[in-house]
Structure 1
Amino acid sequence: MALQACGFGQIFRRFKPHLLMVLVQMGYTFLYFITEASFNHGMNPHVYITYRHIVAGFAMLPFAYFLERKGRPKLTIALFAEISVLSLLGVSLTLNMYFASLRYTSPTFLASVVNTIASLTFIIAVVLRLESLNITSPRGTAKILGTVVSLAGVTTMTLYKGPAMRNISGAFIHIQGNQIHENWLKGSILTVASCITWSVWYIMQAVTLKRYPAQLSLTTWMCFVGGAQSAVFTVFMEHKPAAWIIGFNIDFWSTIYGGVVCSGIIIFVQLWVTEQKGPVFVTMFNPLSTILVAVIAYFVLGERLYMGSILGGVIVIIGLYLLLWGKEGDQETSIKPQELSYLDYEKQKEYKKQLVSNSSVEKEVHERDP
């Protein structure tokens, strides 16, 4: 029984990052619909992002302060500047473009285009020499081919809307104020631009974690700084004071959910998984939310699906998993040297301890029997 429990424990530890990322994508799936309902109700997207990250900052602050009080590195001016840039890329700039595009497209389109983040992250990592690329190997070829196919898929979704698919049945749930999105091209450009800055954010947070290895504290800082940046941006964009007032309705609940769950817990989980598995691994689970969003939007909410989104989404997912198949080979080969170096280090420590022990014994014997 103990051996069986030990076996389950090893399996859980091995697949813990995979399980966490599945839960992350489920959390993001619900976010698409609750935010769309809030925006259709009249919530300003920029005000939403500001409130959401202020809520997230206060929700994460106690955990960051008490749990990382002893191990948190000193925050220097240079490090704070780096966190400010990280907050701009991951919070204020990216999310303002991302959620603004929801006004002009649909949750299904957004969830599909997000899949290109893996390919964009890989391209940026190769340019910055953070990723290896051997074009002569089958896996290296798969990386290149997967990247090209993914980008072709998002281009298809952006430029080709296509006919709408006929709904088999009516909507089971009606989102209040549901409307038809007209400016598809404008929304597409905003979505793609947000994915590019999002990809840079994934790369940069992997670098920042090496200098500031405190995930809870980093999440808290990003939420507060990003919320402040978004507030400044919103003041210039929204001149109506009434836009800042929200009632105890869908606007309130979308803000709480987005702040506590998505900007707080989910970002912390992603930082942890990024530190364990790398930024490309984190993006490999995006197709799960694409499938869940498409199913819920079509069958439950009765939202129209366009042929361009379906075709482009399938192409993107095929390209994504070609890229990830190539990446898996790198992970397999990179783990072994790390394990060997760790074992060598442990052996060296034991050897040094043995030498110190032997020398102390010899000294004691020599003192007793000169």
Structure 2
Amino acid sequence: MGIVGAGGVLEAARPVAAMVVVELVFSAMQIFIKLALDDGMDVRVLVAYRPMFGAAFLCPVAFLVERKKRPPLTVKVVTGLFLCGLFGITMNQNLLVLAMKLTNSTTIVTALSNLTPQATFIVAILTRMETLKLRKPSGQAKLAGTLVGLGGAMLLTFYKGPEMRFLHRLAHTGMSHASGGRPQPAVGSRILGSFLAIAGCFSYAIWLTVQAKVVQVYPCHYSIAALVCVFGAAQSTLLTLCIHRDAGHWRLGLNIRLYSSAYAGIVASGCAFPLMSWCLQKKGPLYVAMFGPLIVVFVAVMSSVVLNEALHIGIVLGAVLIVAGLYMVLWGKAKEEDEQEADAPKLTDKDDELGTFHRLTVKHNEENTTL
């Protein structure tokens, strides 16, 4: 009995451990990207290399795993995947990485990235994929969560506040650059970068909306991820070549530029995404979304320790409001599902018997008509 109980605990702990690993991988990716930017790597070149490495890793995996169950590609599916590459990689990644460069802060961009559920809710309302039911608690919670999250984003953008130095004292004791800290960006750059990060959330939300439709007709997760990386790599490369044709911008050596590109493409895209898909299949999207705020904590600690990045009270307060809004939206979504189940008509045993009798009668009549 004890062995069975221990096995059940381990089985329940697997999705938790998987999601913590996913958030750690994504947090480390933010640090790698910032280090590459500090080394002088161009924003657009960095974005182009990530889907290149991701596609090189995912294409063979998708071919081997899904070669027997992959449906044929149609024009509609290819168009959807092209749009997924455009909004999910080309636009989203360029906006977020440029925002990181302008704000000079991984923590700000990561905190603002948690606005994605609120942005998705707004996009769903605008595209009429979802209706706002203000008379029900679920609709009120989703609207309130969206407003609270946007308020937190505005607070984080426009209010800086005093610096929280305890992590600096903890991690940089005796280091020569600890007292000086990192150069602070201009106020205009910080505000522009914050709005670019918010725009990146809306781009990501559009990608989620498009991919949700693609998955319905093309349910192959590895193939979708691989093809989205292929389209994203092609689009990002064309965009970069229109701006930088000098081969020096693309040169990779055994340095942080290569490590950042490879990590973002192979580990973050190629390994973490399938792990997250497994958790989605096991526990559902709400469970996965619950772990999103962990990345804010991980990145805040890593940025202060590795990058000597200043953490200000405005970032903390804004992040708290964004996370609170996130959980309000998630609660509203869960409540909405409960309301839909409660409103759905329940079949009694008698109704089920009548339905079975009706189906048998129709089948019998069709057979007689055929004869």
The interval holding the TM-score normalised by the smaller chain is 0.7 to 0.9
Rate the CA distance shift 1:5–1:282 in 2: closer, same or farther, 3 A.
Answer: closer
Q: Please show how residues 292-311 of structure 1 align to structure 2 within 5 Å.
A: 292-299=298-305, 301-311=307-317
Secondary structure of the 2:219 match is: coil
Q: Which amino acid aligns with 1:81?
A: T
Q: Answer yes or no: is 1:143 the counterpart of 2:149.
A: no
Deviation at 1:127, TM superposition (A): 3.6
TM-superposed CA distance for 1:122, in Å, is 1.8
Contact 1:40/1:179 (8 A) holds in 2: no
- CA distance in 2: counterparts of 1:278 and 1:195, whole angstroms: 21
2:248 corresponds to 1:247? no
Deviation at 1:206, TM superposition (A): 1.6
Equivalent residue number for residue 185 of structure 1: 191
**Equivalent residue number for residue 237 of structure 1:** 243
TM-fit CA distance, 1:4: 3.3
1:164 aligns with 2:168: no
Q: Partners of 1:332 and 1:278 in 2: how far apart?
A: 15
| Letter matched to residue 267 of structure 1 | F
Q: CA–CA distance in 1 between the matches of 2:335 and 2:96?
A: 32
Q: Deviations over 1:155-181 (max 9, x none)?
A: 112222334334551537889x96543
Q: Structure 1's 100 and 280: CA in aligned 2 closer, same or farther, altered over 3 A?
A: farther
Q: Deviations over 1:231-260 (max 9, x none)?
A: 000011224320000110111111111001
* Matching of residue 204 in structure 1 with residue 230 in structure 2: no
Deviation, structure 1 residue 331: 3.9
Q: Contact 2:123–2:202 at 8 Å: present in 1 too?
A: no
Q: Say which of 39, 46, 51 aligns to 1:41.
A: 39
Cα offset, 1:330, TM superposition: 2.9
Q: Which runs of 5+ in 2 are unaligned?
A: 361-371
Partner of 2:115 in structure 1? 116
Q: Displacement of 1:295 after TM fit?
A: 2.2
Shift of 1:77: 2.2
Contact 2:62 2:223 in 1 (8 A): yes
Structural mapping, 1:55-70, within 5 Å: 55-70=53-68
**CA displacement at 1:263 relative to structure 2:** 2.1
Write the distance in 1 (CA, Å) between the matches of 2:23 and 2:330.
17
2:163 partner SS: coil
Q: Is the 8 A contact 2:182 2:308 kept in 1?
A: no
Aligned residues: 342
Query: How far does residue 21 in structure 1 lie from its aligned partner after superposition?
Result: 3.3
Give percent identity, aligned residues only. Answer: 32
SS at match of 1:102: helix
Work out the CA distance in 2 between the residues paired with 1:87 and 1:277: 26
C-alpha displacement at 1:272, in angstroms?
Answer: 5.3
Report the CA distance shift for 1:158/1:36 in structure 2 as closer, same or farther (over 3 A).
Answer: same
Residues 242, 165 of structure 1: alpha-carbon distance in 2 compared, 3 angstrom cutoff: same
Mapping for residues 87-102 of structure 1, pairs under 5 Å: 87-102=85-100
| 1:115/1:283 contact within 8 Å kept | no
Q: In 2 relative to 1, CA 197–279 (structure 1 residues): closer, same or farther, beyond 3 Å?
A: farther
CA 1:3 to 1:304, structure 2 compared with 1: closer, same or farther past 3 Å?
closer
The DSSP-based 3-state class of the residue aligned with 1:104 is helix
Give yes or no for contact 2:83–2:210 (8 Å, CA) kept in 1: no
Going from structure 1 to structure 2, the CA distance change for 1:204 and 1:9 (only over 3 Å counts) comes to: farther
Write the letter of the residue equivalent to 1:118.
P
Cα gap change, 1:133 to 1:19, in 2 (>3 Å): farther
Give the 3-state SS of the residue equivalent to 2:314 in structure 1. helix
Structure 1 unaligned segments of length 5 or more: list them. Answer: 356-370
Q: CA offset at residue 337 of structure 1?
A: 9.7
Tell me the distance in 2 between the aligned counterparts of 1:302 and 1:10.
Answer: 38
Q: What SS does the aligned partner of 1:162 have?
A: coil
Output the TM-score relative to the length of structure 2: 0.81
Residue 83 (structure 2) aligned to one of 63, 68, 85: 85
How far off is 1:211 after superposition?
1.2
1:255-313 deviation digits (Å, cap 9, x = unpaired)? 11100112222334445556676666644432110011112223554311223212211
